[in-house]
Amino acid sequence: MEELLNYFNCEEGGPVTPLEIKAAIILKGVSQTSIAKELGIAKSLVSMVIHGTEKNAKVRKAIAKIMGQPVKKIWPK
C-alpha cells in the first residue's frame, strides 16, 4: 500500500495506468462514485477519464488532488 503511494512521489515513474489511478484513490479512501457526486457528474465520466477515453479537466484535477500529484504527472498528454 505504502509503496504505491510512494511511487507517485518519486521523480521518475513513467506513465500512470488506470489500475494504478484506481488503486491510489481507493488507498486514499475515495471512490469513483464519491468523486462523481462531489463534481455533480456521472460515475461513468470519472471512469472514462481514469481509462483515458475522456479528457475532462475538472475530473482530472479532482483525481490529481486526491493523489497529491500534478495533473501532468498522471496524464502527461
Q: pLDDT digits over 42-65, tens only?
A: 999 999 999 999 999 999 999 999
Q: What residue type is 22 in one-letter code?
A: K
What's the pLDDT score for residue 36? 99
Q: How does DSSP classify residue 51? A: T
Mean per-residue pLDDT, 15-41:
95
Q: Which range marks the domain in which residue 36 is found?
A: 2-74
Q: How confident is the model at residue 16 (pLDDT cuts 50, 70, 90)?
A: confident
Query: What mean pLDDT, rounded, does the chain reach?
Result: 88
- Indicate the pTM of the whole model: 0.83
Q: Which three cell numbers stand for residue 75?
A: 496524464
H-helix segments, the chain: 2-7, 18-27, 32-39, 43-50, 57-67, 71-74
Residue in the structure block whose three cell numbers are 479537466: 57
What's the pLDDT score for residue 9? 54
Number of domains forming the structure of the chain: 1
Give the CATH number of the domain where residue 37 resides: 1.10.260
Question: From CA 40, how far away is CA 57, in angstroms rounded?
Answer: 14
